[in-house]
């Protein structure tokens, strides 16, 4: 996990991801988002599925956020106490199956991202009139983070949509 910023006395802010299993009823995503919001923590990505494929009918929600380790621990305890939540598991960036998918919009003169292994960067589309090209970046979290930092530093990154995948 990469350090994002320092907190005045509470430690470094780092990216964290939780994989939650919950009873599959309407309002589950709202409950999770409200729990984060009431603690002043913004979700940077959320990915969920319903419980139709789970033998127990549990929905799965993967949430990614940035905060201190202490606030992450407190949040994990709070989420685990919610009646609808069956389990909360932290998904480390270096988990074997963890992958990040990022859609990036680049300036028209930007070269194709080449910071990731072959086969993990795909050009989706480009609109010459709008002066941009869109790519997908797929890979381990640290590798995609390096690519995004490189694109930001070059000044070619116009927008990014980012999510972590884990099962």
CB-based contact 65:44 (threshold 8 Å): yes
pLDDT over 70 (residue 130): no
> What is the rounded CA–CA span in Å between residue 10 and residue 75?
15
Q: Quickly list H helices, the chain.
A: 28-38, 69-81, 141-154
74-97 tens-digit pLDDT? 999 999 999 999 999 998 877 777
- Which residue(s) pair with 138 in the sheet? 101
Q: Which CATH superfamily is domain 3-90 in?
A: ACT domain (3.30.70.260)
Give per-residue pLDDT as tens, 13-48: 988 999 999 998 888 889 999 999 999 999 988 888
The domain segmentation of the chain, as residue ranges, is 3-90, 99-165
The whole model's pTM is what? 0.72
Q: Is 97 helix (H, G, I), strand (E, B) or coil?
A: coil
CATH architecture of 99-165: 2-Layer Sandwich (3.30)
- Tell me how far apart the alpha carbons of residues 58 and 160 are, in angstroms, rounded to a whole number: 30
pLDDT for residue 4 is more than 50: no
């Amino acid at each position: 996990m990469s350090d994002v910023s320092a907190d005045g006395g509470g430690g470094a802010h780092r990216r964290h991801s939780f994989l939650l299993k919950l009873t599959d009823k309407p309002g589950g995503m709202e409950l999770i988002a409200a729990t984060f919001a009431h603690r002043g923590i913004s979700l940077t990505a959320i990915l969920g599925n319903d419980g139709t494929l789970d033998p127990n009918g549990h929905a799965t929600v993967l949430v990614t956020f940035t905060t201190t380790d202490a606030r992450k621990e407190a949040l994990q305890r709070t989420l685990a106490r919610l009646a609808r939540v069956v389990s909360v598991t932290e998904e480390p960036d270096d988990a074997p199956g963890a992958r990040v998918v990022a859609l990036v919009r680049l300036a028209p003169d930007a070269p194709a991202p080449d910071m990731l292994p072959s086969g993990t960067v795909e050009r989706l589309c480009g609109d010459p009139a709008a002066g941009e090209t869109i790519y997908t970046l797929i890979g381990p979290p640290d590798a995609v983070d390096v690519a995004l930092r490189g694109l930001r530093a070059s000044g070619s990154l116009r927008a990014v949509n980012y999510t972590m995948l884990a099962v």
